Structure 1
């Protein structure tokens, strides 16, 4: 099966489907659950002139996603990166990550950051393998245990 990764409006049906699956999975994975309503409030930053949102789809079905938002210091932050469980281990997460890095460069950012939870061990390993280094916390995300950064230049 072929997967295409496209920039979409964060309010599009494919984006809403992917984000919904991502949020439900976090709520099931995190020991203390995840506040889905609170997370939905910051998604507008993933669109417009200062953000991007990409959806990976196969045969018209969303199988992955990820977003970018601009940070005040000029870096871009990767948010809402998710791959459907049936597509894990097939390289799609790496493709999504590289696409988000490419979009960040196109937007004029030379540094990307992200945060993640300790329960997401495969994601942490992927970020490290992709050249991300752990940094001091740059936000107050109550679900984050690790903060990473990568220079794109």
Structure 2
């Protein structure tokens, strides 16, 4: 098992979550590929997106069926500007690579926001620290492990 996946499992267990990381036969490069592989709706995939918010990394866990409206989200959270983080910022903040960023297992706590649209799925799937691992969680478990704040990532 990869060290990044082991870190995810450690964080899950430390928060009392007994979910098992699932290895995919091949990496899932998109939320749709992950959904197809797992046999779930696209919206049940929790994309872990690192953004630069006023030059600081934040993690937004959003439904695979949604796009983050960065202008709306910046206003809602009180940031001047939110933009996609460069790969170097993603790696420094999470210890993981784009495509495998998990909601936890990071070297230090990361300010995290969780898309309320994920609440509509009894089980959601997030990356397990590598592009070929996924972990099932409930919405409440995702909030717990990330210490995240619920937000809407797009205007209603």
TM range (shorter): 0.3 to 0.5
Bigger RCO (CA 8 Å, 6+ sep): 2
Tell me the TM-score normalized by structure 1.
0.32
Tell me the TM-score normalized by structure 2.
0.32
Q: Which one has a larger percent strand, Structure 1 or Structure 2?
A: 1
